[in-house]
Structure 1
Amino acid sequence: MTETRSTCPYCGVGCGVIIESDGAQVTGVRGDPDHPANFGRLCTKGSTLHHTAAPAITKQARLLHPMRREHRGEAPYRVSWDSALGLATETFAQVIGEHGPDAVGFYISGQLLTEDYYVFNKLAKGLICTNNVDTNSRLCMSSAVAGYKMTLGADAPPTCYDDVDDAGCIFIVGSNTAWAHPILFRRIEEAKARNPQMKIVFCDPRRTDTAEIADLYLPILPGTDVMLFHGLLHIMLWEGWTNGAYIAAHTNGFDELKATVRECTPETVSQTCGITKEDLFTAAKWFATSPATLSLYCQGLNQSSSGTAKNAALINLHLATGHIGKPGAGPFSLTGQPNAMGGREVGGLANLLSAHRDMADPQHRAEVAALWGVPSVPDKPGKTAVEMFQAAADGEIKALWIACTNPAQSMPDQSTVRRALERAEFVVVQESFATTSTCDYADLLLPATTWGEKDGTVTNSERRISRVRPAVAAPGSTRHDWHIAVEFAQRLEKRLGRATKLFAYATPESIWNEHRESTRGRDLDITGLSYAMLDSAGPQQWPLRTGDSAGRKRLYEDGVFPTADGKAKFANVAYKPVAEPRESRFPFSLTTGRLRDHWHGMSRTGTLGRLFGHVPEPVVQMNPSDMSRRLLKEGDLVHVTSKRGSIVVPVQASPELGFSQAFIAMHWGSEYLSGCTSTGAQIAGVNAITTSSYCPTSKQPELKHAAVKILKAELPWSLLAVGWLPDDEAIAAREEFKRLMGMFSFASCVPFGRERSGVLFRAAGYEAPPEETIAKIERLLHLHGADTLRYADRTMGQRRAMRLVRQGAEARLEAFLLAGDTSAEAWIKTLLQDELPAQSYGRQLLAPGSKPPAAVQARGKQVCTCFNVPEDAIARHLSGCAGTEDERLTSLQGALKCGTNCGSCVPELKRMVRAVIPLKQAA
């Protein structure tokens, strides 16, 4: 066995991993105990990375060879790399020649490595001479970038993870840190345990698991963050809690801001934000009077039509109180993706240039042109993500190159995005997984390497650069992302008649060295860093200038900022409500967010059934009182409709949500949730209904809020089909089910099972589909042959099929289909999921409306993914458990092991413990 140190490809915490491999196969993964981001810990996603590299998944889900489509809608066929890149070169050259360089666009990803990013940025801006290169980081971090630049002068988070240990107050806002950045949350839990005097304030419209650690929870109404921050500053001014000496010595613009916040009285803030004046006062006091206050924030601030204002208004609080540039203090933007920071470093956005240079600055453009050896770089800002796809939908952009991202799932307003992909004359998708929705629109598919195979660097939330190292060879014909871009660029140089050789790179290190030189003298100067130093000394933070032996943990400790006069600037921003407020026709505020065990569009995590245990299927969550008023029951199908479209999804009660609020996880794209409208139009997952309204400064869309209506869906016919399949068939079957989903008014398809591979397909409609559709579903689950029991009643539209496989003296259920009546699903699914003896239930399995046998108890929701512990087992243990909250939790962990591995389920366990204690006391 070989061990290779690398980095996790999920969130911006940037955890180190040790990859175990045997020859060409990844066999295991564990946390790197020497990596300062995680010290050996991994969350549920990171700890299952090796399972996503299993041979069956590589064979079925990976894109392994270049593929071409002659015509849209047809199946692609395999071509050589020479043919693929030749076609791409000729087509892009023709479009550029006929329509100009701005007729092409590159949409890339925060999951690319810094070296990949650098080449794409140089390809677009240096060779083609267009700034139409943007990234899915636009959906993630662009408001954080703009907020830092507006106030502190540069896109440079001034804090580090060690500040969690030194903070006297942690202010978490717009971030479900417990789920989005679990390993950092573990560190917060430990810091709180060591220092019970630490105050934690959590501010978010949803009472998520992160609230479990908070001393104060502020359930503000969606989009009211700026008013909250101004209200906090108003109280700080009134009470004399601002730091006048710091303000005078190190900032500008405070008087203008004071005039704005004067109007944000506690009464006004209370009414606008929906919180009490007492809680507002407490939050202000803790923030201002703590020895050191650290704020942590993410998409709740960023994904907003006021995203830049929200970020800047929060930073104002740190400048006003002097909580910046010292241990335990500062505004800490939690990066959403593994290398969104690296992309920002190389200027991989449509309005930026390398090393935090501004496109609008002539000197900055001249510096980049000189570094690259080109006459100039274009000064016109390129199309940002939303603008790029709108331009393609309008016919302005003719050719799109999409790398390592899935806009047909992740972009808002999917009808526009899909119209763009359909209208573009040529779409290249450079991707590791063949199963993403965007692949369906590609004229050319280019296979890229992925985690465990790549070589380069990434930068995490605390400005720490880590090496990504390959543990195994690239499978099939896959190539590294930088290599694909370099060869395309070299061919395009020749085709366009350019004499330059801008892309003479043989290794990722040669690319990184050029990037390093671009940072000389800049705020992120890394000229003292090298691959050799990263290999010998481990991950390093920037800046790390020539002559430095280590990077800088914190920025602005001397009170000097990267601005013209060295002072930070207060941002005098105004409060504005959400772009699409609730109204009588659309009375609910819909927000989107993450699930604990999944990542983005789930192209990787979605291959593992074990990661669907905690939240097994798509749902929309509502406040129980809202459901009651609308006569909705748990599991009812509802139409969730905005001004842009409608989806059908089951409803689930959630006490996390306030009145008139709803939540759908961001991960549910058309790969997992689909259907068709009454007119036959295809439904495209949750982002069919989100708005593309965006912040005017950062251009980041308001994915966190859309006004919707929620009405019960009258779909009397339903179907559920579940079954175990051989590993090499499960993903292929899911792809076939995905093609069937559009035949129903509602359909979802997800992986199923933990140690075995399974598929769960659910559908509903106004009436039963054609007989051949049901027959195809049965064939996909091998529900045919002598081992299958059947029941059918065509007049009632009912059909049942059960596949039993004998194991010794017993028979076990391997697959089943319930059509027309799915009321028995809980106990029948339990028979299959728990692999219980099923032979004695033969007739009962086929009987419509059959009641569950007493011997078969449906499993509760899975709470602990690592040890497969359901909530009913936890409840049973707690019912006989005495002692304090900590003692009961310790007993629970000792008996069932839940919460003892990655710790992601600990907040939920604590909530369950607290829920039991009052009941026992009342008894």
Structure 2
Amino acid sequence: MTTANTSPTINKTSLKQTTCAYCGVGCGVDISLLNNVPTKLEGMREHPANFGRLCVKGTHLLDTTGSDNRLTSPLINNQAVTWDEATDHVANKFNDVIQKHGPDAVAFYVSGQLLTEDYYIANKLMKGYIGSGNIDTNSRLCMSSAVAGYKRAFGEDVVPCTYEDLEQTELLILIGSNAAWTHPVLYQRMERAKQLNPNMKVVVIDPRKTDTAELADTFLNIKPGSDAALYNGLLNYLNEHNHLDTQFIAQHTNGFESALQEVQKWSCEAVSDFCDIAIDQVTEFYALFANSPSAISFYSMGINQSSSGVDKCNAIINAHLASGKLLKPGSGPFSITGQPNAMGGREVGGLANQLAAHLDIENEAHQSLVQRFWLSPTIANKAGSNAIDMFDEIAAGKIKAVWIMATNPMVSLPNNAAIKKALETCELVVVSDCIAKSDTLKFADVAFPSTGWGEKNGTVTNSERRISRQRPLVAPYSGAKNDWQIMCEVAKKMRFEGFDFTDPSGIFEEWAQLTDFENNGSRLLNLSGLVGLTKSQYDNLKPIMWPVVKNQPYKNGQVFTNNQFSTADKKARFIPITPQLPVQQTSIDYPFVMNSGRIRDQWHTMSRTGKSTALSSHITRPYIEINPLDASKLAIKQNDLISAIAQTGQVTAHAKVTDAVRKGECFMPIHWNKQFASSATVSGLYQSVVDPLSGQAECKHGAVNIVKAPFVQYMQLFAKNELVINSDFWLKVNASNCFNYQLALNEPQSDLLYYCQTLTGLQGQWSAMNTAKAMHVQCIQNDQLAFVGVISNEQKEISLEWINHLFAEPLLTFTQLQSLLYATPDEEFTQGVQVCSCFKVREQPIINAIKNGANTVEQLGSELKCGTNCGSCKTQLSQLIKQHYKAGSSSIDVAVVM
């Protein structure tokens, strides 16, 4: 006789540490697991980048790791095949193209989403074995101008600042950066530093008044593209008012006189006129910089994404060199990267004009060094095609095969009509991705399923040069492999040696050895102190800032010690700068300047964040910001559908009428794509214009016309299951219990009930009701809501939160059915837009609390919990306080709010 085992199941809990998947801040995260299943995510308290803080995107990372929309096996022409078949196919095709057309007929387009180990293998394969420079990265769109600027000035691509400098400075200048939304954790560190040091001053410089301006003592609302003139004028002011560090200039720099000669035409009056700001703002800013004992210029895409981005970077660097405000606590020119491993890509040669380890691709000695280290059959001896040129050469037939990894160029690159043409004509398009649907995957001849965040294993480097481990939380999803594994398999099948890696620790070991090989102190990028790590030591590696020099731990993390730079004479270089206007200028036909950028809760092209209903609830749809004066002239009202038309394309989105943008200018987020909207890919409005030195695209200044869209019928549809939509205009919003589709039509549908039944294919209890203003349609299946539609000749705003709530109800009451037919939500769902994504706090309760006396962000957090988790909504809370709090006749003290 046997007895059943009745012993209780023992649940096993564990904790793993990894790195956030988003911006270049590089936050550490703690993941709690129950029986190897991730259950909870928190900021890593001991990580030097974030000390436990996380933004709203990082907080909701576990929401994005589901199995939906994942590739499950390799595909050839959309047919599932084995890994052997797929890698054989790609290897044979690559070898065939190289044999017939040479190594420059193939290309890799990679991503700052790759880990350093992936990046290293890609660079080694292309430059050392295939023998071409044709590997570039989407980081070309992010920080290549900053790379070129640092290299021109310092001799090496080395960021001279750390996050601690942001907390030690007396003057923080944010220029071309909406850090409150793009780098929220660093913004919170800045905010705290200002609270601790009341003498700290913050200057925000931007053509658009963003949430970051909430922290500013001074906001300079400059004309787009005029940044270099502003900093040229600063250098001239420092000279005229005897605020130069003459000793530093004489001992540690070259080229000052040439740079000074170029800026002497930039008087305060000239800067005021060119930048379109008041002269007293110019002089106050210059005096503030001159008299402050320390200063940080913190800059991002607003500087880099320009046809003269490198010059803008060097104009900033020039001012810091001239004043001696660098290589000291709280001082320096600080470029912040946009992707989690953009810095890692820079290190291993991810750009087409680099070799690995900060070596130069057109330097024969450097070519020899890398080839001898790799023992490779060849080495690239000239720069390859950068991102924009690469797709031009694909379209022209010069590049016959391209491998795209972990990026979505159909959405991110400018002039996507040209990118589409290139991919349509390319003989072989290979795409490695962790998702099954994207705008780019549509063009793939071969698709490789790669691992996603939570499955990856390797390292990343953040914006302050700090290397952190990316640790796998779970096993690779069904059929997926790491990018380095896929490339190694293809390389071996191309009959290349040197790719027999079985673990990322082995790749890291080789990479660290390369940084030390024949270095002799000539390059600051040196990981010799990490050579020889065991697999266990690699697995347990703590965050560490390079350089990490063997037997010299006192040098760890220190750069340019004793004011010695990476140039031949160890001196930094001033670069004479002539400010240039953006290339894409407005005209009679295209009178508006189009700016673009990120929003708070979304990331790049939404393939990850678009999965999270929490992240989709803050801003549910794409929009175009337009100044009230322009809107009035064009008879555009808030939320009207409007189109932005450029020479290269057109988008349609809802109008957001706001004085945050200047007259004659507009703004649109970068995230929406063909998976979420019919016509909202803003990159299609930009021409293929790049900085001639860096190759970085001009994505902050396009020329467009704005017109009101002439739709005659509008539909708000809510469905239990995803629908296939074919409409003149549509957008999709994911909710937890349903999908929301917003449609607009040029020609009206007449039989609306039939239209809804045909569109959904649902069998159930259908009902419809006409009111004076709209047609209301709904379908009930098994006593549960399956579909809701509201159709009218004007736009209707229906509460998605309310409808989503009803979809979760197991049995709708008569009252709920009636409210559906009349589109009258319960009061709890009419509380305005969601402000706090973590605790789902909407605008009206916040306003009510403010009017009742909650006049600080802290008080609102205590009462409503908003702002108490990730803190990403604090700037909006501060804005609401300023708008709605009244204490007698006195205005609120901004310092209290911040």
**Secondary structure, aligned partner of 1:611:** coil
Tell me whether 1:789 sits opposite 2:767 in the alignment.
yes
**Map of 1:398-409 to 2, 5 A cutoff?**
398-409=400-411
Report the AA paired with residue 867 of structure 1.
Answer: F
**2: CA distance between counterparts of 1:535 and 1:96?**
38
Quick check: 1:167 aligned with 2:165?
no
Corresponding residue for 1:762? 742
Using the alignment, how far apart are the partners of 1:626 and 1:783 within structure 2? Answer: 45
The amino acid across from 2:635 in the alignment is L
Give the alignment partner of residue 574 of structure 2, picking from 552, 570, 573.
570
- State the one-letter code of the partner of 2:814: Q
Contact kept? 1:826, 1:858, Cα under 8 Å: no
User: Alignment partner for residue 896 of structure 1, among 825, 849, 864?
Assistant: 864
Is the contact between residue 669 and residue 684 of structure 1 (CA under 8 Å) also seen in structure 2? yes
Report the AA paired with residue 68 of structure 1. Answer: I
Q: SS of the residue aligned with 2:877?
A: helix
Q: Deviations over 1:133-182 (max 9, x none)?
A: 00000011100100100111110101111111211111111010111111
Alignment of 1:390-539 (within 5 A): 390-493=392-495, 501-520=497-516, 521=519, 522-530=523-531, 531=533, 538-539=542-543
Alignment match, 1:802: 778
Shift of residue 839, structure 1, vs aligned partner:
3.0
| TM value normalised by structure 2 | 0.93
Return the offset for 1:622.
0.9
Which one of 48, 63, 71 corresponds to residue 71 of structure 2? 63
- 1:105 aligned residue: 107
Query: What letter corresponds to residue 446 of structure 1 in structure 2?
Result: F
Q: What is residue 73 of structure 1 aligned with on the other side? A: none
SS of the equivalent of 1:178 reads: helix
Inter-partner Cα distance in structure 2 for 1:463 and 1:595: 25
Q: Is residue 294–residue 331 contact of structure 2 (8 Å, CA) maintained in 1?
A: yes
Worse-superposed segment, 296-305 or 812-821: 812-821
Moved more, 350-359 or 683-692: 683-692
SS in 1 for 2:798: helix
> CA, structure 1 residues 158+922, in 2 after alignment: closer, same or farther (shift >3 Å)?
closer
Q: Write out aligned runs for 1:191-202 (5 A).
A: 191-202=193-204
Cα displacement string for residues 453-492 of structure 1 (whole angstroms, at most 9, x for unaligned residues): 1111110000001111111111101001100000100101
Displacement of 1:222 after TM fit?
Answer: 0.8
Partner in structure 2 of residue 547 of structure 1: 551
Q: Structure 1 residue 826 and structure 2 residue 826: aligned?
A: no
- Whether the 8 Å contact between 1:721 and 1:761 is mirrored in structure 2 is yes
Give the Cα separation in 1 of the matches to 2:887 and 2:400.
64
Q: C-alpha displacement at 1:389, in angstroms?
A: 0.8
Shift of 1:443: 0.9
Would you say 1:50 and 2:62 are equivalent positions?
yes
Structure 2: runs of 5 or more not aligned: 1-12, 892-898
Residue type of the alignment partner of 1:868: K
- What secondary structure, in the 3-state scheme, does the structure 1 residue paired with 2:152 have? helix
Letter in 1 for 2:300: C
Q: Report the equivalent of 1:678.
A: none
Counterpart of 2:612?
A: 608
Shift of residue 375, structure 1, vs aligned partner: 4.8
Q: CA RMSD in A?
A: 2.3
User: Contact 2:14 / 2:36 at 8 angstroms: preserved in 1?
Assistant: no
Find the counterpart in structure 2 of residue 351 from structure 1. Answer: 353
* 1:613 and 1:865 in contact (8 A); partners too: yes
The worse-fitting range, judged by mean Cα deviation, of 15-24 and 257-266 is 15-24
Identify the residue that residue 691 of structure 2 maps to in structure 1. 695
Q: Distance in 2 between matches of 1:221 and 1:868?
A: 37
1:455, 1:3 → 2: CA distance?
Answer: 16
TM-score, length-scaled by structure 1 = 0.90
1:5-20 pair list within 5 angstroms: 5-20=17-32
Counterpart residue number, 2:42: 30
Q: Measured at CA, do residues 550 and 250 of structure 1 come closer, stay the same or move farther in structure 2, by a change above 3 Å?
A: closer
Deviates more, 1:311-320 or 1:857-866: 857-866
Q: Percent identity?
A: 39
The alpha-carbon deviation at position 763 of structure 1 amounts to 1.4
1:711 equivalent in alignment to 2:707 = yes
Change in Cα spacing, 1:604 to 1:371, as seen in structure 2 (3 Å) is same
User: Among residues 304, 307, 322, which one is paired with 2:324 in the alignment?
Assistant: 322
Counterpart position of 2:4? none
Asked if the contact 2:673–2:681 (Cα under 8 Å) also holds between the matched residues in 1, the reply is yes
C-alpha distance in 2 between matches for 1:259 and 1:392:
43
Measured in 2, the distance between the counterparts of 1:383 and 1:443 equals 22
Counterpart of 1:581, as a letter, is Q
Letter in 2 for 1:271: D
In structure 2, distance between residues paired with 1:191 and 1:326? 17
Say which SS state the counterpart of residue 670 (structure 1) adopts: coil
Distance in 2 separating the partners of 1:467 and 1:853: 48
Residue 518 (structure 1) shift: 1.4
CA contact (8 A) 2:740 2:800 kept: no
What is the SS of the residue equivalent to 2:526? coil
- The equivalent of 2:894 in structure 1 is none
Match of 1:511, SS state, is: helix
Distance 1:844 1:647, change over 3 A: same
SS in 2 for 1:609: coil
Instruction: Tell whether the 8 Å contact from 2:714 to 2:795 is kept in structure 1 after alignment.
Output: no
Q: Structure 1 stretch 532-541 or stretch 375-384: which is displaced more? A: 532-541
SS of the aligned residue for 1:597 comes to coil
C-alpha deviation, 1:695, in angstroms: 0.2
Change (3 A) 1:253 1:823: closer
Q: Give the Cα separation in 1 of the matches to 2:636 and 2:187.
A: 35
Amino acid at match of 2:778: M
Cα 1:687–1:223 change in 2 (3 A) is same
- Asked if 2 retains the 8 angstrom alpha-carbon contact of 1:408 and 1:417, the reply is yes
Aligned-partner Cα distance in 2 for 1:369–1:476: 37
**1:99-151 residue CA offsets vs partner (Å, 9 max, x unmatched):** 11111110000010000001001111111111110000001110010010011
Query: Greater CA deviation, 548-557 or 407-416?
Result: 548-557
Contact 2:468 2:541 in 1 (8 A): no
Question: What amino acid is the match of 1:362?
Answer: E
Q: Is the 8 A contact 1:720 1:760 kept in 2?
A: yes
Q: Secondary structure of 1:61's match? A: coil
